[in-house]
Each structure stands twice: as C-alpha cells, then as structure tokens.
C-alpha cells in the first residue's frame, strides 16, 4: 500500500492558491483513479483504491 499526502491549507480562503498545489495534485489523482475522498478520519479527508496497479490511500490533511 502506498500513501500519497497532498499538503495544503484547508478552507475556501486558500482553495485556488499556490499554497494548495499538493491538494490539487491529490484531487486530480483521485479523479483519474476514481477514488472518492469523502472518508473522514485522522484530521483529514481520504480515500483508498487502485492507482497504476498499486493499492493507494490518498489523503488531504485538514489542519494547519
């Protein structure tokens, strides 16, 4: 299993800023792999699935 963490700042204030490039990359990976990032836990949103033949967890931390 691989873990991919998209670093960024939570909240609408930072949604489309350079501070959230990590969030944007993980969100695009999730779309391409069909992984839903709706699970809540570990102070983050996350989802699990297959990406490039590997089991992966994609994670978006919701803390600063």
Contact in structure between 20 and 37 (CB atoms under 8 Å) = no
Q: Which of 2, 3, 15, 19 is catalytic?
A: 19
Exposed/middle/buried for residue 59 (C-beta within 10 Å: 0-12, 13-18, 19+): buried
Residue 42 annotated among the catalytic residues of the structure: no
Residues in contact with 25: Cβ distance below 8 Å, sequence separation at least 6, in sequence order: 6
Active site residues: 19
């Amino acid at each position: 299993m691989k873990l991919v963490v998209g670093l960024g700042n939570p909240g609408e204030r930072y949604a489309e800023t350079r501070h959230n490039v990590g969030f944007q990359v993980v969100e695009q990976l999730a779309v391409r792999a069909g992984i839903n990032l709706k699970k809540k836990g570990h102070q983050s949103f996350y989802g699990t699935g297959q990406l490039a033949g590997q089991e992966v967890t994609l994670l978006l931390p919701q803390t600063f």
